Structure 1
């Protein structure tokens, strides 16, 4: 086992997906480093079972318009940037031989509490009801809705 493979197996991929990808936002991916290119092989391996052999990958952002974390947008629940709820989110479209998936890419420096909420919400996974009124749950909802808007605009 080479060093890169050992590193990947020691740090499992942080990915959530809906059961049947192809309709709007299909899930979210939370890379561990700012260099997503280094983590793409692991993401592609994880998506192969759902999408088939990956044939194309497209992103809707550049490093110039990126934020280091989603918490920066909300300042942990308090609107930090005017219009942050309408800000386009990072969406990656992954096309396989048998299906296509659109994933919200959560910036690596996002706090675990917010990132986990975003991952769960993006894939339609349940969240304990005690979190429904929390700032992070509400922020995750807004972030995922903004990503769904991006996906809808890409479809037209």
Structure 2
């Protein structure tokens, strides 16, 4: 086993405890090059999941990244935003697996942080629950969880 890499920028990842939900957390890459950031993600996930043996994703290289914005539901419908196709990565280790919502790297910091928290079912202050970021993050995570549940039912 090699020593974990030390990166200048920590991996932006949250995981819920226990694992095993429709969404277990989120990963927010810093760039559009997921392949370049994947080794650091695998290093971080080694401890909770064990040796990583498989990774599956639900999108192709040619599919566009989903839109993660804080606009109201009515505005999103006008822009033809589709909550049903969020990017989900399933990482399988020898000890456990995790379903991660992959946040597009260009997401605003406020929304990205809120999605990280909501995806891992972390607490959010009452004051923040009234924010547009919380409302958008909640909507995005619920859409991803419904999508993940449907995908699991279809493959079972």
Written as runs of structure 1 = structure 2, the 5 A alignment for 1:66-145 is 66-67=64-65, 69-71=67-69, 76-78=70-72, 79-82=75-78, 84=81, 86-145=83-142
For 2:61, which of 50, 60, 63 is the aligned residue?
63
Deviates more, 1:145-154 or 1:84-93: 84-93
- Greater mean alpha carbon deviation, residues 62-71 or residues 26-35: 62-71
1:14 corresponds, among 12, 15, 23, to 12
SS at match of 1:86: coil
Which structure shows the higher helix fraction? 1
The answer to whether the aligner puts 1:37 opposite 2:35 as a matched pair is yes
Q: Is the 8 A contact 2:66 2:86 kept in 1?
A: no
Deviations 1:61-80 (A, max 9, x none): 12333237512xxxx32333
Tell me the CA shift for residue 112 of structure 1: 0.4
User: Would the aligned equivalents of 1:68 and 1:108 in 2 still touch at CA under 8 Å?
Assistant: no
How far 1:53 sits from its partner (Å)? Answer: 0.3
* Contact 2:84 2:144 (C-alpha < 8 Å) held by counterparts: no
CA shift at 1:149, angstroms? 0.9
TM-score by length of 2: 0.86
Structure 1 ranges of 4+ moved more than 3 A: 80-83
Contact kept? 2:84, 2:147, Cα under 8 Å: no
Aligned length: 146
1:150 aligns to what? 147
Q: Unmatched 5+ residue regions in structure 1?
A: none
Question: What stretches of structure 2 of length at least 5 have no aligned partner?
Answer: none
CA shift at 1:20, angstroms? Answer: 1.8
TM-score by structure 1 length?
Answer: 0.86
Return the offset for 1:129.
Answer: 1.1
